[in-house]
Amino acid sequence: MIRKLTFVLGLFILAATVTANNAAAQDFKKRAKDRYRVDVLVPLYLDELVKGSSATYKDKMPEKAQYGVGFYAGITLAADSLKNSGFNVDIYVHDIASAKESPDKLASHGLDSSDLIIGSVPPDDAMLISTLAKKKSVNFISTSSASFTDSYNNPYLTFLQPSLKTYCGLIVDDVVSRFPKENVVLLYRTKDPADAAAYDYITDGLGRKVNTRHIAANSLPKKGNFSLFIDAPKNNIIIIPVQDIGFADSVLHELSRDFPGTHFDVYGMPSWSNIEDLHKDGVFPTLSVNIPSPHTLAPSSPMGQYVKHTYRQIYSGKMPGSTYYGYEVMFWYAGMLRKYGIGFNEKYTDNTKANFAHFDIQPQTDKSGNILYYENKCIFLDKRETRTHKSKEPQ
């Protein structure tokens, strides 16, 4: 049985052909196979983007679809590489934005023969698919949702996105290491539960290690709010644990505009990587913005160049950054299946198949040592300084 998924994206068409495998559901733990099936769950919004054989938009693809489409493109490029290397794998791509392939419907039927599930799904759906994966004894890799509870109790669940607590811990460690004798301003919001939690994590982590001054900002702060805490002749350190990129962008512009001769080291949240002005030259000339990130992608590496070159040969338009991520996730996990079979978790320390993203997957356990889930602990601070239009990548 052959399925063909075809859709129009601006000036080009992405197509994927996947082959079904009718193997009966069974206990796959530590089992090697001659052929594997991988199911990929990603929001593509095909029902909205395509009508018949034509795109429903004229110029730029809708923003909500860009991540999923880029991730999908990376998956298909990796599938071609795996096929060329002689690895027998059938890859099913499910558009979870479609009512016909929603996570709840896939959980009830459609994933029974899967040997590995890779999903860019919301937190509630991650819990749903996780339950199915545990029942089937196959690994579920959550690529975009992070853990938000310790109640998973599932050794077959892996979060490639570190938890909010992990991100905050990285910020605390960097601030304490780099600025032990400096005054640190903590600009926080509590009306959003995630922001409130981040504030608590950072406050607890900083403790009495540095001198911290707190500014409540449930509404956008004004110049006067900052003036009391900023020493214009010196470098100023500000932590802003706020997820909302619109709010964050406004604060960054305010600091740059109201204090033109003052340099700031600003620490933000992972979502800030989507702030467009941080990718433009000269927008924040006095700011160094530190963004925690879980992906040590190096597009300049040989494999990164291969992905970019191959993408341009097949598709037109600018390649989304999520294409690298989709390629790496698919290629690395297929390599784990190929080398160790299903139930490869004990071999998670093997990074030999990592091309340009290096995962550090560690088990998270309860007090008795039982594995609750696995989490990627490979994170770093991406420093963005728009006066040079460069972000410092880890070496």
Bridge partners (DSSP) of residue 376 are: 361
pLDDT of residue 62: 74
**Considering the domain boundaries, does residue 212 fall inside one?**
yes
Residues 379 and 167: their CA atoms lie apart, in Å, by: 8
**Size (the chain), residues:** 395
Could you tell me if 95 and 127 lie in one domain?
Answer: yes
Total domains in the chain come to 2
Could you tell me if 345 and 258 lie in one domain?
Answer: no
pLDDT of residue 252: 96
Q: What is the mean pLDDT of the chain?
A: 83
36 phi and psi angles, rounded to 5 deg? -120, 155
Could you tell me if 256 and 388 lie in one domain?
Answer: yes
**Considering the domain boundaries, does residue 224 fall inside one?**
yes
Least confident of 114-128, 153-167, 179-193, 309-323: 309-323
Could you tell me if 183 and 108 lie in one domain?
Answer: no
Three-state DSSP state, 248: helix
Could you tell me if 339 and 235 lie in one domain?
Answer: no
Please tell me the pTM assigned to this model. Answer: 0.81
pLDDT of residue 58: 62
Could you tell me if 190 and 281 lie in one domain?
Answer: yes
Site of tokens 């000339």: 285
pLDDT band for 76, please (50, 70, 90 cuts). very high
Quote the strand ranges of the chain, DSSP E.
2-9, 12-19, 36-42, 50-51, 54-55, 89-95, 116-119, 139-146, 157-161, 183-188, 211-216, 236-239, 264-267, 287-293, 361-365, 371-376, 380-385, 390-392
For residue 354, pLDDT beyond 60: no
**Considering the domain boundaries, does residue 372 fall inside one?**
no
Higher pLDDT, 18 or 48: 48
**Furthest C-alpha separation in the chain:** 69
Could you tell me if 97 and 183 lie in one domain?
Answer: no
Could you tell me if 88 and 175 lie in one domain?
Answer: no
For residue 92, pLDDT beyond 70: yes
CATH of the domain at 336: 3.40.50.2300
**Considering the domain boundaries, does residue 349 fall inside one?**
yes
Across 7-30, average pLDDT: 35
pLDDT of residue 388: 47
**Considering the domain boundaries, does residue 103 fall inside one?**
yes
Listed residue (244, 296, 288, 246) closest to 267, CA to CA? 288
Could you tell me if 11 and 152 lie in one domain?
Answer: yes
Residues 106 and 117: their CA atoms lie apart, in Å, by: 11
**Considering the domain boundaries, does residue 49 fall inside one?**
yes
DSSP characters over 55-87: ES-SSSPPHHHHHHHHHHHHHHHHHHHHHHTT-
Least confident of 11-20, 56-65, 209-218: 11-20
Could you tell me if 149 and 45 lie in one domain?
Answer: yes
Bridge partners (DSSP) of residue 150 are: none
205 phi and psi angles, rounded to 5 deg? -70, -40
pLDDT of residue 27: 36
- Per-residue pLDDT reduced to its tens digit, 114-170: 999 999 998 889 999 999 999 999 999 999 888 877 778 899 999 999 999 999 999
Could you tell me if 231 and 273 lie in one domain?
Answer: yes
Could you tell me if 177 and 206 lie in one domain?
Answer: yes
Per-residue HEC secondary structure of 337-387 comes to HHHHCECCHHHCCCCCCCCCCCCCEEEEECCCCCEEEEEECCCEEEEEECC
pLDDT of residue 394: 41
**Considering the domain boundaries, does residue 247 fall inside one?**
yes
Boundaries of domain holding 316: 2-162+297-359
**Considering the domain boundaries, does residue 376 fall inside one?**
no
Residues 386 and 89: their CA atoms lie apart, in Å, by: 43
Residues 217 and 202: their CA atoms lie apart, in Å, by: 16
